[in-house]
Amino acid sequence: MQNPFDRELEDRLVRYAAIDSQSDEDSPSSPSTDVQFDILRLLETELTEIGAQDVRLTDYGAVLATIPGTVPGPTIGLLAHVDTAPQFNATGVKPRVVRGYNGGDITFPDDASLVLSPEAYPYLAQKQGHDIITASGTTLLGADDKAGVSIIMTAARHLLENPDIPHGPIRIAFTPDEEIGRGVAEALPKDLGADFAYTFDGGKMGEIEYETFSADAAEITVTGVSIHPGFAKGKMVNAIHLASKIIETLPQATMTPEVTDGVDGFWHATEMTGGSSEMKIKIILRDFEREGLAEKGEMLRQVCAAVQATEPRATITCDIRPQYRNMRYWLEQDMTPVDLARDACRKLGMEPVSVPIRGGTDGSRLTEMGVPTPNLFTGMQNIHGPLEWISVQDMAVATEFCLTLLGLAAEEA
Ligand SMILES: [Zn+2]
């Protein structure tokens, strides 16, 4: 099953994955790490070389470009993020290709204890005969989301080389810092200038995602009363004890990520730092519905107030700020972007699958900011860890899917 895009996609992913572009949650700068400029500048150059127009690297670290339409139609944005996840080693990625996968266990050159087996990962069992790309065992691969970048670059190159193919105007955006939730700069929707858009940042063939969590982040600060422990009787208020009490009072057995799935939301303590005089607790709140999210915020405030009531000499504050909202709220008012993707999927003989994502995408923010942006499959699997893999042939299907979708959008215009 050779597809004309196979070798190009493989070459692109292998090249892009080898470039370190990890983002960093703790960095205040934008983009969060300078290394992301290495791949951003490369993509800027490559887009210019293939003949894309308006190529530009913005000060917030997004590479933008235009593929002019060959026929009238809506302006469609194609997005992928260049950063890799901070959760696992992403420096010195050595991608390798297992050509014509034989259906057995895949082992790793740099870690003999690692095994990628079709028993543990049934989706892999379906990929016999495919060319499988993995890392070498000590790093993640970064197909998340350099698969998306490779797919968009390949589709763009193909369209620019074949100006007889009918499609409307296309805007491309390669963005930084998606993995730390900072991929959508304030100026991006306007700079993108698309009627609607797609992120290529999904997994299995046929996945078309337009429902994400709604998300808030809370920061609780507990200020105690600090005094030398030798003279503390009746005076000291230890912030550590109160912070612990807050965590212990929140529902751990019913509402944390490790005990919820499906459409249930959660609260999740991500960080607790400080000392006896002051403690900070960071908590993220997730729910598919606004009401559920608001209830979780209210619960947090009530627990803080209850613990505060036990110790009036302490000060407990709870700041909750919005992160992103379920994109379904906007998309269900106009399902055109989702329907187009579903039609393109069926045209290629695949049944589209839409499962709510227990997380967010750059599309969640973009949709809220006025550019409806569902998320589409690329083939990436086991992301954010050493067992990450992707099939070259899956990426080729995703590329065909992208081109089919763009063609359909122009036809319907
Ligand atoms: Zn991603």
Q: Which two tokens stand for residue 30?
A: 């934008």
Catalytic residue flag (residue 258): no
Stretch (H or E) spanning 75: none
| pLDDT at residue 81 greater than cutoff 90 | yes
- Gap from CA of 145 to ligand 1 centroid (Å): 5
When the pLDDT of each residue in the chain is averaged and rounded to a whole number, the result is 96
> Which has the closest alpha carbon to 35: 25, 46, 24?
24
| pLDDT at residue 194 greater than cutoff 70 | yes
Catalytic residue flag (residue 83): yes
Sole residue written with tokens 């870690």: 111
| Per-residue pLDDT, 256 | 97
| pLDDT at residue 245 greater than cutoff 90 | yes
- Gap from CA of 108 to ligand 1 centroid (Å): 23
Q: Could you tell me the pTM of the whole model? A: 0.91
Stretch (H or E) spanning 63: strand 63-67
- Gap from CA of 235 to ligand 1 centroid (Å): 50
Q: What is the pLDDT of residues 4-28, one digit of tens each?
A: 899 999 999 999 999 999 999 999 9
| pLDDT at residue 1 greater than cutoff 80 | no
Contact by Cβ (8 Å): 116, 134: yes
| pLDDT at residue 41 greater than cutoff 60 | yes
**In the structure, what pLDDT confidence band is assigned to residue 259 with cuts at 50, 70 and 90?**
very high
> What is the distance between the alpha carbons of residues 69 and 371, in angstroms, rounded to a whole number?
19
> What is the distance between the alpha carbons of residues 285 and 255, in angstroms, rounded to a whole number?
10
- Gap from CA of 69 to ligand 1 centroid (Å): 28
Count of other CB atoms within 10 angstroms of residue 400: 19
Q: What is the mean pLDDT of residues 203-218?
A: 96
- Gap from CA of 396 to ligand 1 centroid (Å): 18
Sole residue written with tokens 């087996």: 117
Residues with a beta carbon under 5 angstroms from ion ligand 1 = 144-145, 201
Q: What is the pLDDT of residues 86-97, one digit of tens each?
A: 999 999 999 999
Q: What is the mean pLDDT of residues 295-300?
A: 98
- Gap from CA of 298 to ligand 1 centroid (Å): 31
| pLDDT at residue 110 greater than cutoff 80 | yes
Percent of the chain beyond pLDDT 90? Answer: 97
> Which has the closest alpha carbon to 82: 139, 136, 43?
43
Q: What are the two backbone dihedrals, phi and then psi, of residue 101, each rounded to the nearest 5 degrees?
A: -45, 130
Q: What is the pLDDT of residues 145-183, one digit of tens each?
A: 999 999 999 999 999 999 999 999 999 999 999 999 899
Stretch (H or E) spanning 209: strand 208-209
Catalytic residue among 178, 287, 368, 400: 178
- Gap from CA of 334 to ligand 1 centroid (Å): 25
Sole residue written with tokens 């993108």: 192
| Per-residue pLDDT, 413 | 79
Q: For residue 121, count CB atoms less than 10 angstroms from its CB and return exposed for 0-12, middle for 13-18, buried for 19 or more.
A: middle
Percent of the chain beyond pLDDT 70? Answer: 100
- Gap from CA of 8 to ligand 1 centroid (Å): 21
| Per-residue pLDDT, 412 | 86
Catalytic residue among 10, 83, 144, 362: 83
Q: What is the pLDDT of residues 358-383, one digit of tens each?
A: 998 899 999 999 999 999 999 999 99
**In the structure, what pLDDT confidence band is assigned to residue 2 with cuts at 50, 70 and 90?**
low
